[in-house]
Amino acid sequence: MTEVPVNTENKNVGNEKRIHELDSLFKPKAIAIIGASSKELSIGNVILKNLVHYGYTGQIYPINPKEPEIRGIKAYPTIFDVPGDIDLAHIIIPSRFVPQMIEDCGKKGIKSVIINSAGFSEMGEEGMALQKEFLANAKKYGVRVFGPNCQGIINADPQYNAYCDFTFTFPKPGSISIVALSGGVGAFIMQSLFDLDIGMRLYASNGNACDVSISEVVDYYGNDDGTRAIILYTEGFHNPKEFMDVAKRVSKKKPILAMKAGRTEEGAKAAASHTGSLAGVDIATELIFEKTGILSFQNEEEMCQAAMAFSTQPLPKGNRVGIITNTGGPAVIATDELVSAGLQLPALSERAKEILKETMLPEASIGNPVDVVATGGGTHFRSALDVMMDEDDIDAVYINFVTAPFTDTNEVARNIVEVNKQKRKPMVCNFMTNMSLERFQETAKILRDGGVPCYSFPTTAAKALGALYKYHKMQSRNIGKEKDFNDVNKKEAGNILQLARNENREFLTSAQTYQLLAHYKIPFADWRIASDTEDAVKAAEVIGFPVVIKADSSSLIHKSDQGGVAINLNNADEVRSTVVRMKALFDAADLKFFIQKYLPGGRELIAGVSAKKDLGHLIMFGIGGIYVEVLKDVVFKIAPVTEVEADEMLASLKASKLLDGVRGEKGIDKQLVTDIILRVSQLVTDFPEIQEMDMNPIMAFGDNAFVVDARIKI
């Protein structure tokens, strides 16, 4: 099930009109089921059954040419026989009849349709033609289409109880909304929230997504006051720019927890085989998540567990956590995980310790963690909680609560809940108990009804708190705006690219390349072009020895592999013999010699750009030589990058310390390097026709940084 945006109106998401349009999908007052069936276990029967079972508050109109009623509800032969207005229609009829049915829906004034039927774009040419046909009809009448080949939507708000889906989980109302490319994944996420006993608000799995896109749904959720957090599952985006625009806006208002599958080559292949289109390991999606402030998960269970904390807890204001425990080992495990997630365990203040010395049992351990010990009861937990809430240096609280058989566990739970209800700081609870015993079921109920997110393992609870903190950190991070250098000459740069296009070039010549860089004030090593031996010697003398010589011809791409590069030439003789050798080596009519100043020493860096369809450019940066070859030590961002992002690129390299200088080597001037990145970013953003740029190497020194070799593909 793929998201293929065909309707160009999609791009215009976020306006008020569009949001109201989707109300007919998510808040329908009357639903027709076109293809309703009395056959048990058919989709047309299951959807009807689900609507009734879930207590749908609006009108249901089963449409069936033969049956007078289905499951006790009056049926109509056609939608035109339905007496009232219809907001939403399920369409569960063979695909070949769908275009006409959409036409009919338009005539009847139906605002949205969910096409559950399959047999469209996922089935090749013929299906695609049908899809285009019904979409044209939908557009004519302004009917919004959800699907085809999809599950549908659920609105768990008791005002609607709209279960427009054939799945089998009936969630209680809550504040988390789900949108999933894969219905299978959407369904088990919904089930997981159900198993965790937390509610859900809106659900959407839109299959082929020919009209209503995931981006549009996320936008809708963003504007839905009842949605506190959004869970998103995808295998990629067909219109990543649209998604970025929406996600940037929505993630400022509420957390988006997301998982993108297909992160391995094999996974991407599996995704392609079931979606028929999205293929290739796609690092762009993770970069989009990073750039737009979406919390990315690689483990769907962790994502659901984190959602539980997001649905009930305030966000921490920092990374300092206090642990309260009534058992030793689980606090050790929790500490390991919390610290790994970037949280800290500050020491308690003297004041806090004095209070705890008064209130705790003598065998308690007073510190962070506070171990109230297994025999500790409600008052002990309460005092420890109050102390943590009062500590200025604590931003969040982690609790281990084992239901020791010799304590009043309900009393402990009640005290935790009371403090939780104050909502002063977020808390998570690793609640270790036996839920098959009635006594502890009651304790669990007190905690859950009190909105305490309870987990069964210390690591799980700690990871959930780690996710809250990570979101806080993302929210506090202001990447700023991209820098707009006003000393660039966009017009001249455009002329060079136009010239290269006129010459039908795939790659710019060296001269064109360096001129283009010059117009964007991207520094590069001093250079001359020479066409013959003595020209080359003269050029080298003007530039000053030592020099490097590169053979330049449209037929030469990987010069250094072919012997077309010679470095550190110290005098006229060396230049002469090099040019003679290269002439013998390369029999090209347009052979020229590219002569540059050679500066030994310095740090070898690389940068690159590649264009991604419908997204823009990815910019890559790394430390050259063995670092990129052996350690793959590179980092990517989506252009345009801001100064903050460019700084992050340098800082997030594994070997970033090298840039500061180690073992007596001088560090580089990082500002000069980020400037290169920012200017390259502006260049490719100004000229989307640039497909690839390789700057390898960029040489960086303590007081200088410049591109030595560059290659530009258009």
Query: Hey, which residues between 301 and 320 contact a second copy (CB under 8 A)?
Result: 301
Residue 681 sits in the site that holds a second copy (CB under 8 A): no
Cβ 115 vs Cβ 147: under 8 Å: yes
Residue among 455 and 527 whose Cβ is closer to a second copy: 455
Cβ 65 vs Cβ 75: under 8 Å: no
- Within 93-122, the residues that bind a second copy by CB under 8 A are 118
Sole residue written with tokens 């400022």: 252
Residue 557 sits in the site that holds a second copy (CB under 8 A): no
Count of positions on this chain that bind a second copy (CB under 8 A): 94
Q: How far apart are CA 173 and CA 168, in angstroms?
A: 16
Q: At what angle do helices 438-449 and 409-421 cross, to 10 degrees?
A: 10
CB of 322 to a second copy, least distance (A): 12
Residue among 289 and 514 whose Cβ is closer to a second copy: 289
Q: In this structure, is the dihedral angle defined by the CA atoms of residues 235, 240, 245 and 246, taken in order, positive or negative?
A: negative
Give the C-alpha distances (Å, rounded to integers) separating 390 from 453, 462, 485, 500, 570.
21, 21, 48, 67, 71
Sole residue written with tokens 């190497």: 697
Alpha helix (H) ranges present in 520-654? 533-543, 572-585, 626-629, 643-651
Residue 384 sits in the site that holds a second copy (CB under 8 A): no
Instruction: Report DSSP letters for 115-181, one per residue.
Output: E----SGGG-HHHHHHHHHHHHHHHHHT-EEE-SS--EEEE--TTT-EEES-----PPB-SEEEEES
CB of 532 to a second copy, least distance (A): 30
Binding map of a second copy across residues 387-416, x = CB under 8 A, - = no contact: -------------x-xx-xxx---------
Residue among 433 and 509 whose Cβ is closer to a second copy: 433
Residue among 405 and 544 whose Cβ is closer to a second copy: 405
Among 240, 330, 376, 378, binds a second copy (CB under 8 A): 330
CB of 235 to a second copy, least distance (A): 6
- Within 346-365, the residues that bind a second copy by CB under 8 A are 363, 365
Residue 372 sits in the site that holds a second copy (CB under 8 A): no
Residue among 501 and 657 whose Cβ is closer to a second copy: 657
Count, residues in the chain: 714
Residue among 281 and 572 whose Cβ is closer to a second copy: 281
CB of 215 to a second copy, least distance (A): 18
CB of 360 to a second copy, least distance (A): 14
Determine how many CB atoms are found less than 10 A away from the CB of residue 550: 21
The span of 4-12, 349-357, 520-528, 654-662 binding a second copy (CB under 8 A) equals 654-662
Q: How far apart are CA 218 and CA 31, in angstroms?
A: 23
Q: How far apart are CA 337 and CA 331, in angstroms?
A: 10
Side chain identity at residue 61, one-letter code: Y
Strand partners, 532: none
Residue 345 sits in the site that holds a second copy (CB under 8 A): yes
Residue 434 sits in the site that holds a second copy (CB under 8 A): yes
CB of 217 to a second copy, least distance (A): 16
- Within 170-189, the residues that bind a second copy by CB under 8 A are 170, 180-188
Q: How far apart are CA 653 and CA 622, in angstroms?
A: 7
Q: What is the largest CA-CA distance in the chain?
A: 100
Among 101, 164, 230, 432, binds a second copy (CB under 8 A): 432
The span of 35-43, 94-102, 491-499, 580-588 binding a second copy (CB under 8 A) equals 35-43
CB of 189 to a second copy, least distance (A): 9
CB of 506 to a second copy, least distance (A): 27
CB of 282 to a second copy, least distance (A): 12
